Structure 1
Amino acid sequence: MRYWQNLRSRCMSLFLMIVGLALLGQSGAAASTRVYLVEIDGAITPVVASYVDRALRQAADQGAEAVVIQLDTPGGLSSAMDEIIQDILQSPVPVIVYVAPEGARAASAGVFITYAAHIAAMAPATNIGSASPVLIGQDGQAAQPDDTMQRKVVNDAVAKIRSLAERRGRNADWAEQAVREAVNISAEQAVAQNVVDLVAPSLPALLDAVDGRTVTTSAGQVTLRTRAAEVVPIQMTLIERFFQVLSDPNVAYILLSLGMLGLFFELANPGSILPGVLGGILLLLGLYALGTLDVNWAGVLLMGFAFLLFLIDLYVPTHGVLTIGGIVSFALGSLLLLQSPASPAFQLSRAVVIAVTATIAGVFLLLVYLVARAHARRPQTGKEALLGARAVVRRTLDPEGMVFVEGELWRARSLAGTIPAGRTVRVVGVEGLVLLVEPASEEEPAVRVRRLAGDVRRWRPLGALFRRG
């Protein structure tokens, strides 16, 4: 009897151990389930494409359950969009595109990326649409191609988005409308028309809703286990963040302007070194940023021509005319850059353009003012400083003699006949080492003397301001 009691006790213990190990294994599996989160907020650029590619490869290497791309974009470059779509289609890890947070949008390139996802979801109060392709000419302007070229571009985009829709079982007809007619719909309408799979108010709600769904990836069919999964954000690296900031057209415009300004001051005062080094670095960074965007290069050339005019005005006495022309050229170039991109994702801020143009104009107008003020000041040294000065005759001028002026004895020649010693005369000219004088009138205003002295001076180039020594 005791034997059977011991056997039953042992069996019960073994059963409880097996159940405990099973529960422990399940909890461990749940704890190890990870979903990677990628956030795209802004234009689709080559930096964003590189970021998504790195995140998907990392998720595959770490055995993530899924990757959620939280998307809020007005569109971007088609080349970067194509790279992201290819990465999603080739990913062995399920990719969920989630248009969020509330108020976000998936426009233009964002529509294609959403259609490429294994699961497409949207938050309430979001919208999707406007996927019409826009051709950009070599000058950065929205090009107006002929009908044949336009049909080729549109048909290519339609074929691409219809193939994505058919692959994911979504509404291909609406996708074609989004390309041909730039239509937009809300999140609720998108679900009703089978454009996206579901509406989720939050990321946890989204993961709960897609738990148990089966999708087909490049590795085969995968059943999602995302309920209560750990969300692991994948952030951009410092380098990616830096170059993403550079891809902002406003930042590129400011860098380009500051770079040109730094080079101007280096050329105006050779040997300063620091303005030249900083200007060169900023200019190269600005040109790199512009190279990743669809910009109007005519606007860039006008801005460069403006600084060329500023530089020429250093060495040519134009009374500031070239400076005024440079300011006009810079303003026109800025306006062309403002209007050049067809996509709103790459438009310059009007406030930034006005602020930078006003700053550049203020700097060079101040330089012109300083030059004008320097020229209006009476010379303090040299022969020019003697013009208009009063002198006392020490040896009778008949017509030549000696005069005492500014603490020195000078040879002088009278232009008004004989002038006896002791008389006061005024210097009206200099010939070599001989002063030309005439009798001074006590009633003659000093202003006329200063004006006469200033009349013989010449306007000097702007570069005189920067010369040292």
Structure 2
Amino acid sequence: MPSLRIILRSLVLGLAFLVAASALASPTVPAASAQGQGRTPGTGGATGADAARTGPVVVRLAGELNASSLSLLRRAIDAARPAGRIVIVELDTPGGEVTLMWRLAKAIDAAREDGTVVVALVDAKALSAGSMVAMSCEEIYMTPEAVIGAATPITIGMQGIEKAEEKFLSSFRVEWRAWAERNNRPPALAEGMVDETVEVRLVEIDGLPTLVTGTEWDDLRETGANVTLVRTVVDDQTLVALTASEALEFGFSEGTVSGLRELVELNLGQAFADVERIQATASEELVARLAPIAPFLLVIAVLLALAEFQAPGFGVAGIGSLVCFALLLASRYLTGLAGWEHVVAMGLGVVLIAVELLIVPGTFVAGISGGLLLLWGLVASQLGPGFDWDLALDRRVLIGATISTLGWTLVGMFGGLALGRILPRTPVGHALASGPSETGTGGFASAVGELACVGADALRPGALGTCATALRPVGRVLLDGHSRAEVEASVDGGSLDVGTRVRVVVVRTGRIVVEAVEPDDGGTGA
């Protein structure tokens, strides 16, 4: 069955391409140390030299946080873990999107649970998402001019950057407070960083200074507690943003330092010469560029996949779709979100969908299973390790990833269907559908070699031929007068057996639609 051979060949090529892309995307470029030394690729950041080193590992997150920030942080943690070295996260950032902030915070939390000490140094500012990254660390140090806080959650959707809706803000405020308590930070200040309506007051309860919210202050007074107001730190119309001196005064930071050298030598008791800096690699810079256009990569991948199903054999559209899917997975693989299980699931999904469309059409079992596997791979590759349904932010990440994936997939599908109707009426569509011109050049068919022996006059409604394979409903047809050129064809409503005489009804982009003809109608094609 030539059609099946082409299908299997294209699927094997697609799977091999996805696997190779994920392997090549592995961050194997050595990270430069302070002395310019590198790390052996493929060891997860651990080498004999790493194990012998005792100095801190420093990773700097500057500018707006993006997908490469997560990759940098993970590499720093991997480098520090074998010898129990300290990780210093230098922060000079206005923040970033909520989902990314949560992934960074969870990566730090997981490292701390494994025994790695993570220290934050706020070099200039740690605003919005940057403040939670700092708050996730075991200790926080700030330079004299640094500021931390102002963490109103934002989301990035089809309308651009937006403030998170109220229902999410409420749960986010609770999560933020719990995160502060877990990391021994004043929870009232943490709440005030997220929600500008939260008033923060410094009070004395039985003579002990304590930070409380406006609501807690009211509750204390109603219970008759021995509480005295010292001062209002932030009113109910302003987000909490702390200077270095304020953060130290309120117990939000451990100290103020002049810079990295003072932190390493005086506060941590380490030699500054032993510091190892993690530098961004070329692959991580690629991730930073790919992440913002991920939805468009998905749309283009779906659109090209639809075009490939409408075209004979395997060609430019199929290769383009595979490239887009590979880039999408590679960017997630680099940041540690996607694993091999997602690549395998998506590849198996493609195989099952092809089986449904081309081998056992109408059963729906293979097609639905393949679609679900594809959807799972696309969604799960955005969640990362350590997903916990009990955490509100994890649930939000899952819901957001599902809605985004479904939405952009539908955009690609409707776009592909629209192009399928519009393109054939254009000169480009005519060239794609008709194959080679009279001069023997041009057209998509020429590029893939499927219709190299079929002239444009044969690809027209009314032309006759014979089924070279069964059409269920897709297969291949030999047009009269072109016995060596099989054309991919489909039949509407039902199936046709091998050897059935057919007539061309419609010529679509790269594929013909045929119908069965009675034996006495089967003459030679025009």
Task: Give TM-score scaled by structure 1 length.
Answer: 0.46
Higher share in helix: 1
Task: Give TM-score scaled by structure 2 length.
Answer: 0.42
- Give the greater-gyration-radius structure (CA): 1
